[in-house]
């Protein structure tokens, strides 16, 4: 009886309707692996990808599949279809169809000063660095999806084309408070300090706070700008 109920639950769980399962990322390698336990009542289990620019199948159908997503298709759809043969009746059919929405990047933009993200800093180091540093940090993710729980994924966003994820600073504001309590703001273009900023920083006394705020960035080659949340706050020592 328990076996019968289990088979019924599995047949419902592996029903072939399209099931929305989150996101795939542009310019990424997605490694997809099926959990074998759920397919022990099937044979010749195969995955196919509709919407992938490349889909590599392993020798063992329950090993790792590698999917490469198309470029410039943000908002598009990818369908992963699982086809298998039922061991009991020999019927071969699609037992699951999974829908993913394509999104751009899995990572974050990293901005720092002299390799620091805040805290105490020597004035001489600030002047020697002379600019903010920016780069994109992509995530390598491993996660088992809630939908479905029998698929696990590794995501490698950085492996396809790192050139697509180069960013530059468009502008930012440099803010500090004078000893008599006046707030001074200087606008800078690009990541480099302007001559005015350098001169102002050179005159800051020990214990002064130095804040970089309203940091605007864009991907190299793109006209779209993005304002980063928060800012960088340093204490001159």
Helix (H) or strand (E) holding 80: strand 77-86
Task: Identify whether the C-beta of residue 211 lies closer than 8 Å to the C-beta of residue 232.
Answer: yes
CATH number reported for the structural domain that contains residue 31 in this entry:
2.60.40.10
Whether residues 116 and 54 fall in one domain:
no
pLDDT in tens, 145-196: 445 555 666 665 544 556 666 889 999 999 987 767 778 899 999 899 999 9
Closest Cα partner for 133 from 197, 191, 173?
A: 191
Both 69 and 178 in one domain: the answer is no
Q: What is the pLDDT of residues 119-159, one digit of tens each?
A: 999 999 999 999 999 987 766 554 444 455 556 666 655 44
Cβ–Cβ under 8 Å, residues 77 and 69: no
The answer to whether residue 144 is domain-embedded is no
CA distances for 234 relative to 161, 217, 224, angstroms: 34, 20, 29
| Range of the structural domain that residue 183 is part of | 107-137+163-236
120 and 76 co-located in one domain: no
Residue 7 lies in a domain: no
126, 43: one domain: no
Decide if 146 is inside a domain: no
Residue 151 lies in a domain: no
pTM of the predicted model as reported, rounded to 2 decimal places: 0.56
Last-in-domain residue among 104, 126, 150 = 104
């Amino acid at each position: 009886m328990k076996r019968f109920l289990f088979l019924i639950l599995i047949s419902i769980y592996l029903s072939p309707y399209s099931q929305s399962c989150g996101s795939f990322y542009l310019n990424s390698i997605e490694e997809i692996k099926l959990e074998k336990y759920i397919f022990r009542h099937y044979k010749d289990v195969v995955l196919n990808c509709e919407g992938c620019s490349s889909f590599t199948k392993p020798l063992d159908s329950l090993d790792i599949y590698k999917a490469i997503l198309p470029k410039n298709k943000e908002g598009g759809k990818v369908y992963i279809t699982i086809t298998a043969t039922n061991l009991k009746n020999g019927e071969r059919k699609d037992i699951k169809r999974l829908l993913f929405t394509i999104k751009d990047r899995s990572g974050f933009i990293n901005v720092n000063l002299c390799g620091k993200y805040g805290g105490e800093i020597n004035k001489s180091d600030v002047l020697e660095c002379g600019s903010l540093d920016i780069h994109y940090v992509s995530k390598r993710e491993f996660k088992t999806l809630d939908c479905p729980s029998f698929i696990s994924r590794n995501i490698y966003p950085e492996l396809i084309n790192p050139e697509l994820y180069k960013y530059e600073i468009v502008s930012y504001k440099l803010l500090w408070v004078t000893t008599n309590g006046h707030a001074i703001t200087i606008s800078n273009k690009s990541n480099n300090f302007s001559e005015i900023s350098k001169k102002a920083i050179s005159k800051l006394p020990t214990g002064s706070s130095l804040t970089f705020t309203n940091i605007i960035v864009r991907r190299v080659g793109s006209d779209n700008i993005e304002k980063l949340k928060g800012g960088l706050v340093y204490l001159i020592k």
